[in-house]
A and B are shown apart, each in its own frame.
Chain A
């Protein structure tokens, strides 16, 4: 049983560019959440998707957007990249919005 998978594992972009990160949830899970983890910090909640809709959003600007597909996989898009967007982006899935989260290994984004 595959866990949460994320792609790519590493990404290097320059300021002003746009990036798309992808996530496939654990089998049987229909809820996907995205977190940003800066170096030396705990993960910060970006948003949650359930039934193809954004259900909750953390304190992140509109440059951060997402999507959930009918197969429950999800994308995180970040526009107009800033140096401060450099971080590990974590996807987590759960069998429903109130249940325990299981994390993927993350995508390490470096903005130069």
Chain B
């Protein structure tokens, strides 16, 4: 079993839809949870950064962490064609430890 599981998609939605992206993980030591957006042939861009359980909102983006279920989510409201990208979840333990990434979910928002 991989430490971080993420459905690679692809996921295709109409413009204006609410998008839900998810990851599960097996290592209960993970404390920091991130979502990165990666456009084609570009490096990952940090979207959301959360510590432990709870919700965090930033504009159209909401990140949720449920440590009891080992499940994290990213919601995108009022999705736009410019949101079309691959979304990577990532997580790490406390201290100087490396990020562990999911495979990424490829999202297409159709105008």
Residues of chain A lying within 8 A (CB to CB) of residue B103: 40-42
Categorize the interface residue count of chain B: 20 to 34
Within 8 A of B (CB), among A84-112: 90, 92, 97-98, 100-106, 108
- Known contacts A103-B43, A103-B44; decide if A42 and B6 are in contact (CB<8 Å): yes
Residue of B nearest to A103 (CB): B43
Residue of A nearest to B103 (CB): A42
Contact indicator A48/B8 (Cβ below 8 Å): no
Categorize the interface residue count of chain A: 20 to 34
Contact indicator A33/B98 (Cβ below 8 Å): yes
Contact indicator A4/B101 (Cβ below 8 Å): no
Residues of chain A lying within 8 A (CB to CB) of residue B69: none
Q: What is the distance, in angstroms, from A82's C-beta to the closest C-beta of chain B?
A: 22
CA distance A98 to B96 in the complex (A): 5
